[in-house]
Amino acid sequence: MKVAIAGATGMVGRKFAELLIGHPHYEIAMLVGFRSAGASLGRAWDEKEANLYTHYGQDFWRKSRCPEELRDRQVQSFNALLEDGTVDIVFSAIPPNAWHMERQLLQAGLTVFSNSPYGRFDEENPLVVAEVNGEDLAGRQFIKNPNCVTSGLALILAPVRACYGVEAVSVVTFQSLTGKGDAKYPRDLVVGNIYPLHESDENVEEYITKEIRKIFKEEIPISVSCHRVYVQEGHFVDVKIKTSRRIKSEDDVAELFRTFNPLGSLSLPSSPEAPLFVISEAGRPRPRQDFLHSRGMAVAVGGISTKDDVFDLRLRYVVNNLVRGAAGGAILNSELVMQKRN
């Protein structure tokens, strides 16, 4: 199937390009950009990575490389995509302020898998983490994947909720700089620092709360506190849960996570061996060591404990914010849709 990446030169768009190279079912037919239209993908890619490398520090930032197969491909305009007529699917990394472009894609009859926050809370648009509420994909043309933190949190809560019930959740995030995309923070906010996102112009705390409730179709009481930290990729999240039923042991929870694999029998190209990778080592997971399990599609879980005076279960996880939390999550949703259609 021929696919297009809309917003292909942005950080999530670049990750879509990386992940779709050599995909067994998809051919990248169009790379669509806005200010970069007319340039080669390689040129736009290198310029953006060089800007981040210079801004955040050459001893810190690891530049990603444009896939050689796409390096000389020309970035095309949005109008060219609307007029093309051969593309079957669009993977959208369109920025929120260009939301009207997604509406135009839908009006043109295209199926859109979108990472953009636009429309996530509209009732008619499913918000999907494939292993958790994949049934919501049926018959839809416009499918959203949630915020990167939510993508990992939903995978954690799904088996806990099914086995023990969930009464309340506390979430504290330490989110990497790539969660901001190519937009750059002032260095004094993040270098050697922690930047609280509460009451900033980033509505991440509100997004996570609303997204979890929409995915599970339940008004789960949830407290969220978000922070940006000087880490390039991989969000670290501390979670505490009050359950409805008594948890037998920490080992039971670890086994519950290890065996949680609703899509295991489907052999989807982007599906990890298991969506939750359990780590027993003290001091883990950590973003640098644990952001690439199953090519970034598995969420690393550790610190599982039932020893807390307030909550029944506490744990921490690392989610790859660009793969499982963005481009990879959207691609997995698309694979599940296409398999059901066939």
Q: Would you list the domain boundaries of the chain?
A: 2-118, 148-320
Identify whether the C-beta of residue 258 lies closer than 8 Å to the C-beta of residue 278.
yes
Tell me which residues of the chain have a pLDDT lower than 70.
342
Question: Phi, psi at residue 75, to the nearest 5°?
Answer: -75, 125
Per-residue confidence (pLDDT) for residue 16, from 0 to 100: 98
Rounded Cα distance, 267 and 24, in Å: 12
Rounded Cα distance, 73 and 247, in Å: 54
Identify whether the C-beta of residue 115 lies closer than 8 Å to the C-beta of residue 327.
yes
Rounded Cα distance, 231 and 56, in Å: 10
What's the half-sphere exposure (Cβ side, CA atoms, 13 Å) at 316? 22
- What Å distances lie between residue 328 and 134, 215, 291, 311, CA to CA? 15, 18, 13, 32
Domain 2-118, CATH number (from 3.40.50.800, 3.40.50.720, 3.90.930.12, 3.20.20.80): 3.40.50.720
Per-residue confidence (pLDDT) for residue 117, from 0 to 100: 87
Stated pTM of the model: 0.96
Per-residue confidence (pLDDT) for residue 340, from 0 to 100: 79
Rounded Cα distance, 224 and 170, in Å: 6
| Fold that domain 148-320 belongs to in CATH | Dihydrodipicolinate Reductase; domain 2 (3.30.360)
CA-only gyration radius of the chain, Å: 20
Model pLDDT for residues 112-169, shown as the tens digit of each residue: 999 988 889 999 999 999 999 999 998 899 999 999 999 999 999 999 999 999 999 9
Sequence-distant (≥ 6) Cβ neighbours of residue 203 within 8 angstroms: none
**Enzyme catalytic residues:** 148, 235
DSSP states of 42-86 as a string?
Answer: HHHHHHHHHHHHHHH-TTT-------GGGTTPBPBPHHHHHHH--
